[in-house]
Structures are given as C-alpha cells and as structure tokens.
A and B are shown apart, each in its own frame.
Chain A
Amino acid sequence: MSGQIPILKVKGLTKKYGEKIVLNGIDLEVEKGKVIAILGPSGCGKSTFLRCLNGLEEVQGGDILLDNESLINKSTKWREVRQRIGMVFQSYDLFPNLTVMENILLSPLKVQKRNRSEVEAQALELLERVGLADRANDYPRQLSGGQKQRIAIVRALCINPEIMLFDEVTASLDPEMVREVLDVIAQLAEQGMTMLIVTHEMNFAKLVADEVIFMDKGNIHEQAPAEQFFTNPQTERAQQFLNILQF
C-alpha cells in the first residue's frame, strides 16, 4: 500500500501566539492507515500541532492538505473537516448534561443528520467494542475517568472520521485505567485507522506506532520508523528525551 498519495500532508506549518513562534515550519506526510506517535518535551507544540489540523487554532503560515485539498484558505468549511478528522482531548470532555448515548448521538444526528436507528446501532456496536454497552444510559458523572475517555473515543468514532487525533488521552487518568484506554486505541490501529497520537506512554508508542515524530521547540527534530526511533535514536535530544523517560 505504500507509495500511495498521503491522506494528510502538512507543509511548512507555522503557528505564532503574538510574537512567540510555537510551530516553526512543520512538514509531515501521513499515509492512510498509518499510526504516527508524536513525542516531545512539554511545551514543544504537540497539542498546538494537532489543534491546527482540525482548525481549532488559526495558523500563520504553511499549508495543510487533506486528500490533496488545501485547508488553509477562507472557504474551508471546518465543520466538514472536523467530521473527517476526529479529536479526543486529555480532559474527559463528555457533556455532563447528556447521557452517554446522547453524547454519542449528538453530532451524527444534529450535524450529519443521519438516521437515528442506524446511528444508534453503530453506537451500540462501538460501545460493545469498548466494553461499555451497559452504560449507554448513564450520565458521565457516574463513570470513571477511564470509562469517560473510552466513551469520548466512541463519540468521535461514531462520526466516521478518516483520521483520529489523540492528545495525551491517558495523561490525567489513574494508572490502573490507562491500559483500558490504550487497548481501545491499539484496537483501532489494528483496524487500520489513520491516527496521530500525542503520548507520554513510550511502550504504547513503540507497540502501535508505525512512525515516530519527535518534536522540540516547534520543530520536528527527528522522524523515524518507530522501531528505529526507540532502538537507535539519531539525534542527541531524542536520546536525552528517551533516557529521561526510561528512568
């Protein structure tokens, strides 16, 4: 399957907050079905990078191409792009006023105007897959952090995105709940979902990622196949980073 046109292409992406440069010309190509782990020290711009990809942040330069179509122009309909590029955040961001099922159905019904019974069936199947089918009618406050995060993933998946962005989705979970969430993402990788995953879980990244990009100070400092990056990082900074985490 390699050699095909990348589904997502990023060219010289630049993001500034005022004078401060947060992303300094990021270049990246993502092929369909690939899993990319994004690593790097705190504040290097990982979250900002993901947020630029679905238009949550305005960019100051460069281009993003989804299926060869530029997203950086005035006529971009970000609401449509967001249905193709799903995102799950670090905070458990379910809507507390809605039940689990209502959370999942909201966008498919109101944004995509899909048929209720069809979406419900899909939602139940996805819930089944993450082991939470029996919680469909619960409110978010009745769930643990790990359960909420799995529901948030289901909610994003039910829109049928082509690409998923994960921003440290296990970072605020209790350690014993990290596994159940990572398992869900690993499952997705197996099914061929294209994903960009920001994580601090090195073993997980090693396991599911095809490729690693290591960011530092708004740049991609090193980019390599996962296997190679973890066994034989090329740059000194990446070596340091891995050493610190392996301690």
Chain B
Amino acid sequence: MLNSGISVLFEGVNLERLLLGLLVTLRVALIAVVISIVMGILIGIIRTSKSKLVQILFKLYLELFRIIPILVWLFVIYYVIPANFDLNLSAEVVALIVFSLWGAAEMSDIVRGAIISLPKHQTESSKALGLSVSQMYRYVLIPQATKRCIPPMINLITRMIKTTALLTMIGVVEVIKVGQQIIEVNNLEHPTISFWIYGFVFFLYFVICFPLSRFSRKLERKWAT
C-alpha cells in the first residue's frame, strides 16, 4: 500500500535525520558559495587584466572545471590525494575544496563577463575625471557590474546546491545518503518507501531552489533596462 510508506517518514527520528542530511547539503553548499563569491570576484577582476599570461592561466583553470565532470574531481581529490600525499581529508572537506574551486571559476567568469560588457566609455570618462583605477572599480565599474552579476550568480548557486547530490558518491552523509539509508532499512516492510523518501527529497530541493530561481528571474526583469 502506498500509504504505508509515508508513515515511515514520520517514524522515529527519520524526518529529523533527513533534515540533518539536508543541513549537511546546505552547509557544504553555503560555505562553498561564500568562498566562491569572494574568490570569484577577485579572480574575475584579475581576469579583466590585459596580460595574456593571466588570461590564459585562468581560462585554463575555468576550462578544467568545465571539461572534467565534478564527480571526477571529487574522486580525484578524495581517493588520489590521500593515497599519494599522506594527507587524510574528510569527505566533507574534499567536497568543500572541489565546490569552492569550481564555484570560484564559474563566478569569476560571470564577474569578468559583466565587467568587460560595460561600455568602454565608462572606463574612459572615469579616467578623464582623474579617478584612480581602484576608485574606478569601486565607484563605477563594480556597482554597475554587480547588477549584471547577481541573476547569473543566483543561477550558479542553485546549480551548486543541486550538484551537492554527487557528494553521496564520496560518502558524505547528506540528504540523499540519509534517504538511501532509511530506504534500505525499511524496504522489505514497506515496498513503496523509496517513492516517499525520494519524493520528500525532491520536495526539499524544490523548496530551496525554486524561490532562488524565481528571485533571479525577477531581478533580471527588474534590471533589464
């Protein structure tokens, strides 16, 4: 019976465990997002430099994260580094490293794109008014670029939250992993359990990501002009 599954959700500490799993998911995502934004802004500004070497180096960094799947990055750092460098990293720390590096790369691309898409005369008139380079960024370029950055940044954050699903693969006990554990224990007794548990996990992701995506679309429309 379908109904029997749903009761499991509220049995014992199951619900609490799922929400704690969600907390792990959000903790990794949130810390990585904060690091990504800070690093992404810095790297993004650096990437507007005219130096070819700087451009190529950071482009390479970005492409490495675009070409190689995040899951592979997780495996590489989780399994390869400890084996070869005598360094034991917990799964969650590995997740944070990979997500921060990935997020920073993507954020930097958003920031760079926003800055170079600003009309050139904004730079020129800043200079003609005697502003220093840092004043130009602070008062003119960054405020204008911020508006262009925020909607794509929110989209990236949603993507990062969704991609935390991969963390079960290196053994982080996040919301999906907890779900699997509950299913394994109850599967024989309640054959429909996986429907309810995964349905609930689906619901949790939706509740977090949908408002974000709506918010970014609203901002995009509001700032379209």
Contacts and interface: CB of A to CB of B under 8 A. Distances in A.
Interface of A: 54, 56, 79-80, 82-83, 86-87, 89, 91, 93, 95-98, 106-107, 110-112, 141, 152, 155-156, 159
B224 interface: no
Given A97-B143, A97-B144, A82 B127 contact: yes
Given A91-B119, A107-B129, 4 more contacts: A87-B128, A93-B122, A107-B131, A156-B128
Given A93-B124, A141-B225, A107 B119 contact: no
A64 to B, nearest CB: 16
A154 to B, nearest CB: 12
Interface string B136-176: 00011001100100000000000000000000000000000
A103 to B, nearest CB: 9
Interface of B: 119, 121-122, 124-132, 135, 139-140, 143-144, 147, 225
A83 B127 CA distance: 10
11 contacts: A79-B131, A82-B129, A96-B144, A97-B140, A97-B143, A107-B129, A110-B139, A111-B129, A112-B130, A155-B129, A156-B128
A89 to B, nearest CB: 6
A111 B121 CA distance: 19
Contacts of B225: 141
Contact of B124 (A83, A89, A111): A89
B121 A89 contact: yes
Nearest to A84: B130
Contact of A111 (B119, B125, B130, B147): B130
A111 B130 CA distance: 7
A228 to B, nearest CB: 32
A91 to B, nearest CB: 5
Contact of B135 (A93, A96, A111): A111
Contacts of B125: 89, 93, 95, 152
B69 to A, nearest CB: 39
Contact of A159 (B121, B129, B132, B144): B129
Contacts of A83: 130
A56 B128 contact: yes
A82 B130 contact: yes
A87 B225 CA distance: 27
B23 to A, nearest CB: 38
A86 B128 contact: yes
A208 B142 CA distance: 40
A134 to B, nearest CB: 23
Contacts of A96: 144
